[in-house]
Amino acid sequence: MRIIADLFLLVGAAFCLLGAIGLLRMPDVYNRIQAGTKAVTLGALAFLIGVALLMPGWWPKLAVIAGFILLTNPIGSSTIARAIHLAGVDAWRKTDTPTREGDA
């Protein structure tokens, strides 16, 4: 049990790290939001599962936290994305690729 819990904690931390790397590496706001939201949501969930395995008595509260994360994380991201979209920022385009067919 202890090992499985640790594994979940590790996976959660790994996804949060990936989210952070994504934030740094992505070229524009929309892609950063994409990387940030998905990775951190799953990372947090994995973390909560890990904690639930370590502390079985806490699981109802952890489930509530998970529910709120699942509900509010995407809303926050979409709201930021919408504000940026309304401010007139367009989707990022790769400009340094020499061959590109059917560019719409």
Partner 1 sequence: MSKSASSVVPLTIRLLVVGLLFLLWIAMVGRFDAREWLVGLVLCLLVAAAAGDHLRVFAGVRLHPGAPLHFLRWFAYFLVALLKANLDMARRVLTPSLPLNPAFVEVRTSLESPLGKLALANSITLTPGTLAVDIHDDRLLVHWVDASPGTDLEAATARIAAGFERHLLGFLK
Per the document, the length of the chain is: 104
Task: Output the CA torsion 24→26→30→34 (10° steps).
Answer: -80
54 near partner 1, rule: CB under 8 A: no
Read off the tokens for 21.
Answer: 């790397």
10 near partner 1, rule: CB under 8 A: no
CA distances from 100 to 90, 97, 103 (A): 19, 7, 6
Q: Pick one of 56, 71, 87, 98: the residue that binds partner 1 (CB under 8 A).
A: 71
Q: How far apart are CA 60 and CA 57, in angstroms?
A: 8
Stretch that binds partner 1, among 1-9, 26-34, 48-56 (CB under 8 A): 26-34
Q: Pick one of 7, 13, 42, 54: the residue that binds partner 1 (CB under 8 A).
A: 42
Name the residue among 81, 59, 79 with its Cα closest to residue 71. Answer: 79
CB of 40 to partner 1, least distance (A): 10
Note the residues at the interface with partner 1 (CB under 8 A). 15, 18, 21-22, 25-28, 30-31, 33-35, 37-39, 41-42, 45, 57-58, 60-61, 63-64, 70-71, 73-75, 77-78, 81-82, 85-86, 90-94, 100-104
